């Protein structure tokens, strides 16, 4: 079983790396780029087992404990 | 207009950060986690303009020139 977890900065949290990428793209001639925000995506391979609700609940735990910094980031889990 | 770009390591490229996350999760009791690979996601805000084919082609260029390292990474563009 596979899962994909998106971890992105919460709205209002400053993203200097995204700002640098936006500035870089504009200076390369892509003036249409108004804002860039950078997040992470975790592709996770899981051993089969358990009902979907349990799998999802354990993935939520993993996000809260390790994958995301809940102070500044939010996450979204997709089962594939 | 908004776009989302996923940049992920190509198959076969070693991902030590993903491996570390996988080991961390297993050591925290999530033994079902067999593999983790980490990618980046760019949320891009674009000024409206031009037909979708042009927007897409310019995003492809941005990926090849700046957002992705085409030697080791591949990318996927979604228009939202």
Q: What is the CATH number of the domain that holds A17?
A: 3.30.1280.10
Residue B50 pLDDT class (50, 70, 90 cuts):
confident
**Count of structural domains within chain A:** 1
Query: Tell me, what's the ipTM?
Result: 0.91
DSSP-based three-state secondary structure for B65: helix
Q: pTM of the prediction?
A: 0.92
Would you state the structure tokens that stand for residue A27, as one six-digit string? 């200076």
* Residues B76 and B58 sit within 8 Å (Cβ to Cβ): no
- Asked whether the predicted pLDDT for residue B48 surpasses 90, the reply is no
What are φ and ψ of residue A49, in 5° steps?
150, 140
Instruction: Count CB atoms within 10 A of the CB of residue B52.
Output: 9
- Looking at the complex, does the CB of residue A28 fall below 8 Å from at least one CB of chain B? yes
CB–CB contact B35 A45 (8 Å): yes
What are the tens digits of pLDDT across the range B67-78? 999 999 999 999
- Please provide the average confidence, as pLDDT, over all residues in chain A: 96
- Looking at the complex, does the CB of residue A33 fall below 8 Å from at least one CB of chain B? yes
Domain span holding position A33: 2-79
Q: What is the DSSP annotation of A13-36? A: ---HHHHHHHHHHHHTT-TTEEEE
Top residue of A3, A10, A13, A32 to mutate, by most chain B CBs within 10 Å, is A32
CB–CB contact A41 B67 (8 Å): no
């Amino acid at each position: 079983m596979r899962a994909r977890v998106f971890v992105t900065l919460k709205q209002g949290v400053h993203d200097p790396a995204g700002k640098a990428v936006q500035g870089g793209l504009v200076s390369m001639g892509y003036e249409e780029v108004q804002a860039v925000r950078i997040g992470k995506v975790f592709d996770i391979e899981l051993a089969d087992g358990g009902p979907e609700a349990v799998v999802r609940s354990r993935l939520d735990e993993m996000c809260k404990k390790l994958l995301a910094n809940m102070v500044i980031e939010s996450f979204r889990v997709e089962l594939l």
